Amino acid sequence: MSAVHDWVIKTRSLIDELKRPKKILVFVNPYGGRRKAPNIYKRKVLPILQLAGCEVDCILTQRANHARDMLENVDVPIKVFDAIVCVGGDGMFAELLNGIINRAQLEANQNTSLQNVPERPTTTIGVIPAGSTDAVAFSSCGNNSPVTATVHIVLGNRVNIDVCAIHSVREEGKLIRYATSFLGYGYFGDTLKASEKNRWMGPRRYDYAGFKKILGHKLYSGELRLHVSTIDGSPKDSDVCTSNCPMCAKSAARTKYAKEITSRPTIEDEGTACVQIRGRFLGINAATMTCRCGMSKDGISPAAHLGNGCTDLIVVTKCSRANYLRYMMRTGFMPDSPFDLNFVDVYRVREFEFTPIVNPANTKQSYQLSKASVWNCDGEIINEAAIHVKVHCQLVTVFGNGRENRNPDKESMKSKRKINNFNATDSDPRKKAEQNCVSNRAEIYVKH
């Protein structure tokens, strides 16, 4: 018995040396998704946390932005916690994300304007999936299992992820919010806005609103200005982001090196091409991670990375209803790549700016809000149409280790079958933009 006792003590001492969270603040959203979060927490999450010896403080949120407001309140002592976790969907995770980043800026007295780089939060956050899509959990943990996500937390598995800062163009770069998964204008923005009228339908409201918007087939005119990366791979790459991703590691090292040699830890001018696009669009979608979910098994952008300092910008130009349905089906479940369609362009960008055009050029204002679409930002509506989006490389640490690659050869072959028409020009945004100039879809200008 003495030997067993010594073994238990030795094992616990070794475990204590690991960077495992011991005190955790948990927010549970009782209203999101299918309203199963409280039951998931009680039956699946809490027993594991207790078994691991974690001290848990649980808060049941009462309203939208409850968690965000608490985290932004400097009188709330969040540093006593080793981790802050939410049980909910992507919208709930977005509350935690914005809360801890804004808190870090307040404590550092940091200006949140477009020119400044946000202060990096020291708190690690996590998400226990209990929402409608759970795209963040799929990307950071590999699946949407509450048990898997909880195990990552108690083991202290961590991964750094990119964060997009969204600024208003009309208000001279004023910060709107932060996002880390999806940003969509046009179809996805209209669908989210229309679905708010039918919240009583639950998650089915998205299918209903989306079907109506496909029938409506509304186009939006606008201008995009992109800073396209030439050294961070392509959205059409065959390799996907997995645990210990070499591309993400390289981007982190490059960002750290830039921070050490300059007062501004950004490298926008290195390895970027400036591209300007003017035209009519059905949708403009930015995926900062793959955004895998039950409705899209490979994600909106299958080759997107968690921490390469870029977002994959997908531009869907004018096409027929049938062709747009083809794009949606390929994005959802068909094996063919949606990026092979001739009305879909995709760019890997470090930042971009969009300005809608709905009035003649000689009028006083460039657009009317009533005639523009809205942005779908991680499941929340941004009514400001003209925005500037800047990606900050690996700004936040979350629990998880990315997607496991159990069979690299099989995964690579699968990706190669999915991406059929990749060629050398796709890796060069200048050549790609010049090729697209011959189309009637949009006017594209490239700054050499």
Of the residues 82, 90, 162, 298, only one is catalytic, namely 90
Contact 144, 137 (CB under 8 A): yes
Q: DSSP H helical segments within 217-316, as ranges?
A: 246-261
Q: Angle at the Cα of 314 (from 186 to 429), degrees rounded to 5? A: 140
Backbone angles phi, psi at 315, to 5 degrees: -110, 115
Q: DSSP H helical segments within 285-375, as ranges?
A: 321-332
Inter-axis angle of helices 321-332 and 204-216, to 10 degrees? 150
90 in active site = yes
Task: Give the Cα separation of 135 and 94 in Å (integer).
Answer: 11
Contact 401, 157 (CB under 8 A): yes
- Which residue, chain included where needed, has tokens 């964060």? 163
User: Tokens standing for 171?
Assistant: 């208000």
User: Tokens standing for 237?
Assistant: 């790459």
User: Tokens standing for 81?
Assistant: 């916690």
Contact 313, 346 (CB under 8 A): yes
DSSP state of 201: G
| Chain Cα centroid distance, residue 416 | 24
Q: How far is CA 190 from CA 33, 94, 155, 283, in A?
A: 19, 20, 40, 10
Contact 192, 393 (CB under 8 A): no
Q: Is the dihedral of CA 360, 361, 362, 364 positive or negative?
A: positive
User: Tokens standing for 83?
Assistant: 């981790």
Backbone angles phi, psi at 73, to 5 degrees: -75, 110
Q: What's the chain's Rg over C-alpha atoms?
A: 22
Output the furthest CA–CA distance in the chain (Å, rounded): 88
Task: Give the Cα separation of 414 and 26 in Å (integer).
Answer: 38
Q: DSSP H helical segments within 73-203, as ranges?
A: 90-108, 135-141, 146-155, 187-195
| Active site positions, annotated | 90
